[in-house]
Amino acid sequence: MPAAIEIEGLTKVYGYGVDEVKAVDALELTVDQGEVFGFLGPNGAGKTTTVQMLMQIIFPTEGNGKLLGKPIGDIMAREKIGYLPELFQFHEFLRADEFLDFHARLYGIPASRRADRIASVLELVGLGESAKSKIRTFSKGMLQRIGIGQAIINEPDLLFLDEPTSALDPMGRRDVRDIILDLRDAGTTVFLNSHLLSEVEMTCTQIGILNKGKLVRVGDMESMVKPTLVVDIKVDGLNDETLERIRDLVASVEIDGDDMKVIVRDEDQVKMLARMIMDSGAEMRQFTPRKQQLEEVFLQSIEESS
């Protein structure tokens, strides 16, 4: 089975001479089928540019790639690819069912299957009762849902979602998240372009972090986030000798006044850390172990690459 996404040296340069800007710089990436890939990065990192190159909205300056084993832009491959652009703009004069019918026709879905497929997609995105409503009357949440509807009308094997929850309230975000999880369960590969880390953390199986057009980190969510434990400590009177022993034991120590943030390698180290501080005679006012959040991984990756 070919990878869902294979990118080799993808580069996009805007401007010329002194105005030249590399929006995406020699990007190499492979995403296997069935993964939900979270593509993270600060604003202007090149996330949307990358997706737009993969969807051939814009053309790469250099490099190439494959989607579902076919070169970027292959029409046959696109029949199994869905795409929701960032801040999706609609032809608002249409009704919800007319809108999906138009997109189903563009996917070449035969007339015999269209009506059933439109009805089931409207149900899936929670708009079954709004099928005959004009899109211009929809709320932001409903617009985003009908936008996802057009992207999955073809039952895609690969789905690109560019900031699908950025304009939504918490309820809308939860709805979109549920749709992504349903698609993941159905085996669809999802490429989720987002800067909402909590969304990515809850839905993705793999993540890649992009900064200034370069991929600075990529891997499984499990290996990148979950095994890492952070301990937030507030302590008075910790001597230098104990501090050195702690540094030798754990992965990293950050000190800010009385506050310490310690990253440990496993749960045993948490116990050893507590014992060391207690044995040193220091006064411990707080000792809070927690799992490292994606946000910390993200910020660390961005800082290191900057």
With H, G, I as helix, E, B as strand and everything else as coil, classify residue 64.
Answer: strand
Q: Across the beta sheet with 206-211, what order do the strands follow? A: 81-84, 158-162, 189-193, 36-40, 206-211, 214-220
Q: Is 13 in the site for another protein (CB under 8 A)?
A: no
Q: From residue 82 to residue 101, what is the string marking binding to another protein with x (rule CB under 8 A)?
A: -x-x-xxxxx-x--------
Going by their DSSP bridges, the two strands 259-264 and 252-256 should be labelled as antiparallel
DSSP state of 143: H
Q: Is 184 in the site for another protein (CB under 8 A)?
A: no
Q: Is 150 in the site for another protein (CB under 8 A)?
A: yes
* Widest Cα–Cα separation across the chain: 78
Q: Please report how the helices 240-249 and 267-279 are oriented relative to each other, as an axis angle in degrees rounded to 10.
A: 170
With H, G, I as helix, E, B as strand and everything else as coil, classify residue 19.
Answer: helix
Q: Is 103 in the site for another protein (CB under 8 A)?
A: yes
Least distance from another protein to the Cβ atom of residue 11, Å: 14
Q: Return the structure tokens found at 140.
A: 């932001």
- In the complex with another protein, the residue whose CB is nearer, 12 or 184, is 12
CA distances from 90 to 56, 125, 159, 191, 236 (A): 20, 17, 19, 22, 59
Residue among 21, 57, 255, 278 that touches another protein (CB under 8 A): 57
Going by their DSSP bridges, the two strands 36-40 and 189-193 should be labelled as parallel
Q: Is 206 in the site for another protein (CB under 8 A)?
A: no
Residue among 2, 15, 71, 102 that touches another protein (CB under 8 A): 102
Residue among 18, 20, 108, 112 that touches another protein (CB under 8 A): 108
Residues 58-77 within binding reach of another protein (CB under 8 A): 58-59, 75-76
Least distance from another protein to the Cβ atom of residue 294, Å: 28
Residue among 56, 120, 139, 286 that touches another protein (CB under 8 A): 56
Q: Is 21 in the site for another protein (CB under 8 A)?
A: no
Q: Is 39 in the site for another protein (CB under 8 A)?
A: no
Q: Can you tell me the distance from the alpha carbon of 35 to that of 88, in angstroms, rounded to the nearest whole number?
A: 24
Least distance from another protein to the Cβ atom of residue 110, Å: 9
Site residues, another protein (CB under 8 A):
52, 55-59, 75-76, 78-79, 81, 83, 85, 87-91, 93, 102-103, 105-108, 147, 150
